[in-house]
Structure 1
Amino acid sequence: MGDRPLLQVDNLSVQYRTRQGLVSAVDGVSFDVRPSEALVVLGESGCGKSSLARALMRVLPRNVYHVGGRVSFGDADLTAMDAEHFRREVQWSRMALVMQASMNALNPVVRVGDQVAEPLRVLRGWPSGKARARVAEVLQLVGVSPDFMGRYPFELSGGMRQRVVIAMALVAEPELVILDEPTSALDVLTQASIMNALKEIKRELGTSFILITHDVATSSELADRVALMYAGQFVEVCDAATFFSEPAHPYSRMLMASVPRFRQA
C-alpha cells in the first residue's frame, strides 16, 4: 500500500431536512484511504454509514440540507468540482458505488450484459463488441459465467445479482470501490464466496475498497483498517489486527463482545 492517500476526507458533514427538523447523519468525519487498501466502516444501522457513502459519490436524496467538509481524490479537489465534471471524470470511472439492494440497482427489463456495459459505452464511448468483451471478462472475475449476459435480473439468484452489481462497479476499472452492505441479504456461503472474490480482485487489480457493514465477521475478511462509526462520528480508526484483538473505544469493546465465539475466553 502506498504512503500517499488515494482518498482524503476532512471534516465531512451531512444534514437532512425532516419534518422533525434538521438531522445530522454525518458529523465531522475525517479519514483517508490508501492505494490498494480496504477500509471497513463498521457500525450499527442508522449511524450514518450509507450517508457517508452517498456523500462521497454525490447521490444524496433530495431532502439533504447541508454537505460540508473537503474531499480530495488523488490530486483532484472533489469539493470544488461542479456536478457535470464530477460525473464525467470521477463517478464510475475512478470511483464507483455498490448499493445495498442489488435488485433495486438493476433495471428489470434490461439484460445483464447491457447494464454492466453501460459505463463503458456512456463514459468512454466504447463500441458494443469491445464493451461486451470487457463485460465477459469482469463477470468471470466476480464468479459469473458470461452466459448470464443475455439474462434478465429476475432470472438470477440474489447472490448472482449482487455479483453483477459488483461487476458494474468494476467494469471501468475504478481506483476506489465503495461497497454498501454488499452481502447483508445473502446466505453465509454466498457471503463468503463474494468476500473471497473481492479479496482476489484487491490482490490482482490493486483496487481500493471502502466496505460499509454492520457485520463484524464479514468485515474481518477484507479489512486492512477499520473505522468504527457511532452517531455520525468515527470513534475509533486503527489497523484491523489491532481493532479485532485489542479494541480501544468502549463501544468497540462492546461490539466485539457481542460476536459469538466457539469457545469460552
Structure 2
Amino acid sequence: MSDDPLLEVENLTVQYKTKEGMLTAVSDASFAVSEGEYFGVVGESGCGKSTLLLSILNALDSNGQVTNGVIRYKGEEIQDLSEQELNQRIRWKEIAYIPQGSMNSLDPLERISTQAVQLAGLHSDLNEEEALTKFEEMFEIVGIDPERIHDYPHQFSGGMKQRAIIALALFLEPSLIIADEPTTALDVIMQDQIFKHIDDIVDRVGTSIMLITHDIAVVFESCDRMAVMHGGQIAEVGPVTRIDNEPHHPYSTLLQEAFPDIREPNRDLSVIEGKPPRQIGETDYCTFVDRCPWATEECREAPPPLERAEADRSDHFVSCFRKDDVREENEQGTDDRKAPNQKSGSLANDE
C-alpha cells in the first residue's frame, strides 16, 4: 500500500433541494484513500454514507449538489467534470461502483457477456474479442467458471450475481472500487464468501477499495483505515486497529459497544437511542449532541473541527470537543455514563 493519496475529499458539503429548504446530507467532510488501500466508511442509516459516495461519482439525484469543498482523484479536481468527461476518463476505467442491492442491477434480458462488451465499448478501446477474453479472466478472479460469462443473470444464484457484479467492477482495471453495502440481502455465509473475494482482490490486483457499510465489525476485520460518520459529519478517521483499540469520538465508542465482541461474549450490548438529525440549512453544531453522554453546551454552538486525536499522531483524526475526556474514560473503563441504556440488542435505527 502506498501513502500517496489516490482519492482526496476535502471540506465536502452536499445538499439536496427540498420543499423545506436545502437539506444538508454531508457537512464539511474530509478524508483520503491511498493507493492499494482498503478503506471503510461506517455509520448507521441516514448518516450520509451513500450521498458521500454518489458525490464522488458525480451521480447525485437531480436535486442534489456539492455546495462546498473539492474531490480530487490522482491530484485532479473531478467534482466539476462534465458527464462526457466522467464517462470517457473516470467511470469504470478509473473508479468503478458496486451499488447497494447490486444483484438487481444486471439486465435480466441480456447475457452477462453482452453487458460486459457494452461496458467496454462505452468506456474503453477494447474490441469485442478482447473484451470477452478479459472478462473471462475477471470471472476466474472472482471464482466463477469463465465459460459462464455467456449465461443470463437468472441462471446465477444470488451470491454468483454479486460476484459477477464484482467482475464487472474489476473489468477495466480501475484504481478504485467503491462498494456500497455489497452484501445486502445475502445470508451470513454468502456475505463472508463475498468479503473473502474482495479481500483476495485487494491482495492480487492491488485495487483500492472504499467500502460503505453500517457493520463496523466488517470494517475492523477487512479494512486498513476507516472513517466513522454521523449525521453527515466525519466523526473519526484513522487506522482500523487504532480506532478499534482507542476510539476518541463518543459515537465511535458507542458504536463499538452496540456490536458483539467474541473477546467479551457475556457483555451487554448498547443501543444508541435516537437517530441522526434531519438538517435543513447549514450544520453549525455537532450532529451527535442530542445522543451523546459527553455533550456540553459548546457542542451546540459550533461544529467541532476534524483535528489530530493526539498531538503526536499524524494518522488519527477526530472531530470532538471532548475527545480527551472520552479517551481518558475509555482507558479507565468508566461505566457510569448517563446514556445509552444497556440493553440486549444492536445499533438503533440500523438497516
Range of TM-score over shorter length: over 0.9
Q: Point out the more displaced range, 246-255 or 228-237.
A: 246-255
1:1-265 matches, cutoff 5 A: 1-262=1-262, 263-264=265-266
Calculate the TM-score normalised by the size of structure 1.
0.95
* Kept in 2: contact 1:228–1:234 (CA 8 A): yes
How far apart are residue 49 of structure 1 and its match? Answer: 0.4
Cα distance change on mapping 1:65 and 1:203 into 2, 3 Å: closer
- Name structure 1 gaps, 5 residues minimum: none
Cα distance in 2, alignment partners of residues 100 and 145 from structure 1: 25
Asked whether the equivalents of residues 9 and 30 of structure 2 are also in contact (C-alpha less than 8 Å), the reply is: yes
Are the structure 2 counterparts of residues 264 and 245 from structure 1 closer, same or farther at C-alpha, using a change threshold of 3 Å?
A: farther
Distance 1:114 1:221 in 2: 36
Report if aligned partners of 2:112, 2:153 keep a CA contact under 8 Å in 1: yes
- State the AA in 1 paired with 2:208: S
Secondary structure (helix, strand or coil) at the match of 2:56 reads: helix
**Whole-angstrom distance in 2 between the partners of 1:200 and 1:99:** 20
2:130 partner amino acid: K
Deviation larger for 230-239 or 97-106 = 97-106
Segment drifting more, 198-207 vs 141-150:
141-150
Kindly provide the CA deviation profile for residues 72-129 of structure 1, in whole angstroms up to 9, marking residues without a partner as x.
1113221343332122111111111110112332111111122233332222232211
How far apart are 1:65 and its partner, in Å?
Answer: 4.5
Aligned length: 265
The structure where helix makes up a greater share of residues is 1
Classify 1:57/1:240 alpha carbon distance in 2 versus 1 (closer, same or farther; 3 Å).
same
Q: Assess if the C-alpha contact under 8 Å between 2:41 and 2:213 holds in 1.
A: yes
SS of corresponding position for 1:68:
strand
The structure carrying a bigger strand percent of its residues is: 1
Question: Could you tell me how far 1:66 is from its partner in structure 2?
Answer: 4.4
Q: Normalization by structure 2: what TM-score?
A: 0.72
RMSD (Å), alpha carbons: 1.5
Distance 1:59 1:154 in 2: 28
Specify the SS of the correspondent of 1:6: strand
Find the aligned partners of 1:168 and 1:57 in 2 and give their Cα distance.
Answer: 17
Equivalent-residue separation in structure 1 for 2:123 and 2:131 (angstroms):
11
Counterpart-to-counterpart distance in 2, 1:88 and 1:190? 34
Distance 1:29 1:139 in 2: 36
Shift in alpha-carbon separation, 1:104–1:17, aligned structure 2, 3 A: farther
For 1:148 and 1:131, locate their aligned partners in 2 and report how far apart those are by CA, in whole Å: 15
Q: Given that residues 14 and 25 in structure 1 are in contact (C-alpha distance below 8 angstroms), is that contact kept between their aligned partners in structure 2?
A: yes
Letter of the structure 2 residue corresponding to residue 203 of structure 1: D
> 1:234 Cα deviation (Å)?
0.5
Q: Structure 2 CA distance, aligned partners of 1:180 and 1:68? A: 23
Q: Is the 8 A contact 1:116 1:167 kept in 2?
A: no
CA distance in structure 2 between the partners assigned to 1:248 and 1:109 by the alignment: 50
- Whole-angstrom CA distance in 2 between matches of 1:68 and 1:165: 32
Q: Which has the larger radius of gyration?
A: 2
One-letter amino acid matched to 2:266: Q
State the SS of the aligned residue for 2:143.
coil
**C-alpha offsets along residues 30-67 of structure 1, whole Å, 9 cap, x if unaligned?**
11000110110000011110111111011111121444
Gaps of 5+ in 2: 268-351
- For residues 132 and 72 of structure 2, the distance between their equivalents in structure 1, rounded to whole angstroms, comes to 33
> Structure 1's 81 and 120: CA in aligned 2 closer, same or farther, altered over 3 A?
same
Identity of aligned residues (%): 38
